[in-house]
């Protein structure tokens, strides 16, 4: 469907200021935020944009309650909201990004220099108009659907030691910074995300490739070379989420042709997004791909029933990065030894990992591949 982009900000007249005139600080807005609001700002800082329904699935009992709170956050300048006008009338669902006041508060919390207002505003415009916006929303929707399985307003707070659902959620940027295959820093792994989903004592770690059908299957399959050059099996399995059953069948056939009788050396599972299930991607929608099975799908299993790979990490509290209780420290010597035996990553490889103060890092707008 053709669309015309129509972006707008819903910041109130009295909102949107993190510093009063004359340079006097005003941190009062931080203390008017709920813990839920602060988690949302942290998620937007890293994952950039969510729809209203995605936010509701994370933290709210209903979409209406989410809309009410999001409206207040926009009035405070914490959020920037936009949507597209559809060619035949109407608009898309509202999308939400981190507003300038929200970005200032997150920078203050992390002892970082806040972004320049003009540059940040340009970044928001580029984010809203990015040709990769739908892909980013799709990836975030995938993880939000998994995070919904631990929504405290719908399920109640988890008992100590019984946390289940999505317990790690790393963005593409974080993956590129943490998963690399060459000490020079030139061979980064670029999945669309990395996660850990836990249920009934099982912990399935995975790399996600979220396919929208814009690339040829040959190009999609060629991405496996990066995973083969990385100790993927030590950290998780590879998931392909594609847009249709026909695309999934084609992908499995392409995998069979590419690898013949020799497997790629890692666990691969596929799903089609037209396989709807109340549990979303956590449900029985996944089919393992093996050389023996080829393009045929004889059984669908739940995400938690896929093979377990990767380190077992005791849950810990993560205040700056929600949904990362099972995240491992990439600078831990044991993890580094798994990643890159006898190698050391140059500290200059990714300066953004050390100081994310620039608006381009805060927003990380997309450009076509």
CATH 1.10.10.10 positions along the chain are 7-130
CA 187, distance to chain mean position in Å, is: 21
Confidence bin at 331 (pLDDT 50/70/90): confident
Dihedral over Cα of 102, 108, 109, 111: its sign: positive
**pTM (2 d.p.):** 0.86
Which H or E run includes 165?
strand 165-170
Burial 240-257 (b: 16+ CB within 10 A, else e): bbbbeeebbbbbbebbbe
Among left, alpha and beta (phi > 0; psi -120 to 50; other), residue 322 is beta
CATH of 7-130, one of 3.40.630.30, 1.10.10.10, 3.30.470.10, 1.20.120.420: 1.10.10.10
Q: What is the mean pLDDT of residues 117-127?
A: 96
Q: pLDDT tens-digit profile of 183-202?
A: 555 667 899 999 999 999 99
Q: pLDDT tens-digit profile of 207-242?
A: 999 999 999 999 999 999 999 988 999 999 999 999
Among left, alpha and beta (phi > 0; psi -120 to 50; other), residue 275 is beta
Does residue 167 sit in helix, strand or coil?
strand
Confidence bin at 319 (pLDDT 50/70/90): low
Whether residue 362 is predicted with pLDDT greater than 90 in this model: the reply is: no
Whether residue 28 is predicted with pLDDT greater than 90 in this model: the reply is: no
Concatenated DSSP letters for 95-141? EEEE-HHHHHHHHHHTT-PPPPHHHHHHHHHHHHH-TTHHHHHHHHH
């Amino acid at each position: 469907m053709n669309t015309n982009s129509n972006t707008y900000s819903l910041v109130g007249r009295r909102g949107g200021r993190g510093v009063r005139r004359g340079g006097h600080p005003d941190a009062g807005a931080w203390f008017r935020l709920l813990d839920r609001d602060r988690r949302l700002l942290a998620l937007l800082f890293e994952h950039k944009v969510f729809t209203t329904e995605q936010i509701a699935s994370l933290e709210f009992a209903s979409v209406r309650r989410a809309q009410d709170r999001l409206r207040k956050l926009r009035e405070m300048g914490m959020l920037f909201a936009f949507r597209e006008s559809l060619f035949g009338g109407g608009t898309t669902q509202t999308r939400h990004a981190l507003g300038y006041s929200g970005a200032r508060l997150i920078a203050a919390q992390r002892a970082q220099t806040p972004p320049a207002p003009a540059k940040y505003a340009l970044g928001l415009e580029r984010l809203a108009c990015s040709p990769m916006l739908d892909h980013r929303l799709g990836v975030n929707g995938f993880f939000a659907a998994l995070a919904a399985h631990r929504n405290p307003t719908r399920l109640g707070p988890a008992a100590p030691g019984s946390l289940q659902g999505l317990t790690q959620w790393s963005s593409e940027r974080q993956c590129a910074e943490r998963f690399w295959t060459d000490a020079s820093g030139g061979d980064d792994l670029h999945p669309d995300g990395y996660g850990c989903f836990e249920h009934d004592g099982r912990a399935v770690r995975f790399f996600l490739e979220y396919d929208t059908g814009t690339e040829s299957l040959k190009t999609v399959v060629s991405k496996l070379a990066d995973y083969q050059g990385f100790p993927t099996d030590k950290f998780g399995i590879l998931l392909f989420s594609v847009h249709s059953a026909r695309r999934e069948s084609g992908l499995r056939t392409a995998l069979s042709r590419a690898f013949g009788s020799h497997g790629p050396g890692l666990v691969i599972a596929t799903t089609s997004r037209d396989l709807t299930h109340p549990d979303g991607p956590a449900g029985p929608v996944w089919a393992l791909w093996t050389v023996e099975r080829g393009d045929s799908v004889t059984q669908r299993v739940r995400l938690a029933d896929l093979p377990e790979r990767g380190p077992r990490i005791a849950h810990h509290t993560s205040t700056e990065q929600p949904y990362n209780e099972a995240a491992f420290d990439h600078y831990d010597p044991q993890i580094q030894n798994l990643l890159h035996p006898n190698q050391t990553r140059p500290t200059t490889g990714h300066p953004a990992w050390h100081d994310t103060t620039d608006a381009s890092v805060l927003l990380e707008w997309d450009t076509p591949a």
